[in-house]
Structure 1
Amino acid sequence: MSKNTDLGLLILRVGVSGLMLTHGLPKLLKLLQGNFEFADPIGLGSTISLILIVIAEVICPVLILVGIKTRIATIPPIIAMAVAAFMVHGADPIGTKEKALLYLVAFIAIGLMGAGKLSLDKK
């Protein structure tokens, strides 16, 4: 890959993961405070759903941001954003599900391309 491609991947990883953390950190705080009320779109129970979304929106984005196990770390956010876009907001207009779709596309791209040279995976 070229230096520009590696820089582009770094910007994509840091930008998308950093923005995802703004959605995940409040859910992590909720979990740590013992409030397990959460949506249950795939029937696993609200507590399990909350734990899984914290993994997808906090733990995995941190790994992606720094570039550790990047390709594997994109799998939970991809699943979470697909569920958000197509199940939670499936009947909603495109403007409502657009954010989940944008995250979905970005995490798919990162998953396909990997972290690039400017990551801990390559150090």
Structure 2
Amino acid sequence: MSNLSDLGKLVLRVALGVLMLLHGISKVKNGVSFIGPSLAANGLPEAFAYLAYVGEVLAPILLIVGFWTRPAALIIVVNMLFAVFLMHMSQLGELSKSGGWALELQAFYLFNGLAVALLGAGKFSVGGNGGRFN
């Protein structure tokens, strides 16, 4: 049974990491300048936009390989909280045209990040079960 649990952690960790990394690759290609004005409008330095690379490139890579998994997952959670706060607050109570929540993608990343932070990496990871941050 333990192997199935660890396999489930691997699937969750890699799915979250790969899907978030795709957003990060887009930001590497196109930049993060579109985030700056939203940060400034909320009294935060525009330079904070570069932290999107940490949340959408570095943290997903750490998740995929299973190293410092819990902190990486928490970084994704914080990244998604900022994304919702800065870019999607107006959609908080909206439904999509197909009837789903307008923020279901953001919620997927946020809550799966929280789940990985709580569950850890499992034994199918570089850090293994025994690592303090895994």
TM range (shorter): 0.7 to 0.9
User: Counterpart of 1:54?
Assistant: 53
Once the two structures are overlaid, the 10-residue window that deviates more, 79-88 or 68-77, is 79-88
Distance verdict in 2 for CA 1:43–1:52, change over 3 Å: farther
TM value normalised by structure 2: 0.78
Once the two structures are overlaid, the 10-residue window that deviates more, 104-113 or 88-97, is 88-97
Q: Is 1:113 aligned to residue 119 of structure 2? A: yes
Any idea what SS the aligned residue of 2:15 has? helix
1:87 & 1:38 partners in 2: Cα distance?
11
User: Counterpart of 2:5?
Assistant: 5
Identity of aligned residues (%): 36
1:60–1:73: 8 Å Cα contact kept in structure 2?
yes
For residue 98 of structure 1, what is the amino acid of its counterpart? E
Report the RMSD for the aligned CA atoms in angstroms.
1.9
- 5 Å-filtered alignment, 1:23-42, equals 23-31=23-31, 37-39=33-35, 40-41=38-39, 42=42
CA shift for structure 1 position 90: 1.7
2:5 & 2:43 partners in 1: Cα distance?
40
1:75 & 1:43 partners in 2: Cα distance?
23
1:14 & 1:27 partners in 2: Cα distance?
20
2:115 & 2:22 partners in 1: Cα distance?
20
Task: Give the structure with the larger helix fraction.
Answer: 1
May I ask how many residue pairs the two structures share in their alignment?
A: 118
Distance verdict in 2 for CA 1:86–1:54, change over 3 Å: same
- Unaligned residue ranges in structure 1 (runs of 5+): none
- 5 Å-filtered alignment, 1:14-25, equals 14-25=14-25
- What whole-Å deviation, never above 9, does each CA across 1:81-106 have from its counterpart, x for those lacking one? 11223442122114321111110000
Once the two structures are overlaid, the 10-residue window that deviates more, 3-12 or 39-48, is 39-48
Once the two structures are overlaid, the 10-residue window that deviates more, 80-89 or 57-66, is 80-89
